[in-house]
Amino acid sequence: NAGVTQTPKFQVLKTGQSMTLQCAQDMNHNSMYWYRQDPGMGLRLIYYSASEGTTDKGEVPNGYNVSRLNKREFSLRLESAAPSQTSVYFCASERGYGTDTQYFGPGTRLTVL
C-alpha cells in the first residue's frame, strides 16, 4: 500500500516552459487535492477534485490546470511556468470530502528560473 505518490520529486524549469506533476493514490479515496507550500504562507489549495469527474478551483488556481484522469490519478499542469510558481507542491487524498483525514504525498520541489 503505497498511499499517495508524486512524480517527479524535483524539477527545474525555465520561465515559459510547461510541465505536468503527477499524483496517484491507492486507497480508493474520493477526494484529491493539490497544494503549494511556501515559507511563511503555510499550505494553500490550488485545485481539488471532490469526486471522480469533477474539479474545482481552490485559493490560488491562476496559472494551473488539473485533470482527474480516474479515481486514482490527479495531475497538475503548469502551462507556462513563472518564477512565482517556485514552490513545493503537495498532493493529498481523502476518503470523504472535507470531513476526514487527508493523506499527503512526499511533495515535488519545483524551481522556475
Partner 1 sequence: AQSVSQHNHHVILSEAASLELGCNYSYGGTVNLFWYVQYPGQHLQLLLKYFSGDPLVKGIKGFEAEFIKSKFSFNLRKPSVQWSDTAEYFCAVNALNRDDKIIFGKGTRLHILP
Q: Are strands 31-38 and 19-25 parallel, antiparallel or unpaired?
A: unpaired
Cα 89 to Cα 106: distance, rounded to the nearest angstrom:
9
Q: Does 16 bind partner 1 (CB under 8 A)?
A: no
Answer yes or no whether residue 27 interacts with partner 1 by CB under 8 A: no
Any alpha helices (H) in the chain, and if so which ranges? Answer: none
Write down the least CB distance from residue 44 to partner 1, Å.
8
Considering only residues 70 through 109, tell me which ones interact with partner 1, judged by CB under 8 A: 90, 92, 98-99, 101-102, 104-107
Contact 29, 103 (CB under 8 A): yes
Residues that bind partner 1 (CB under 8 A): 33, 35, 40-45, 48, 58, 90, 92, 98-99, 101-102, 104-107
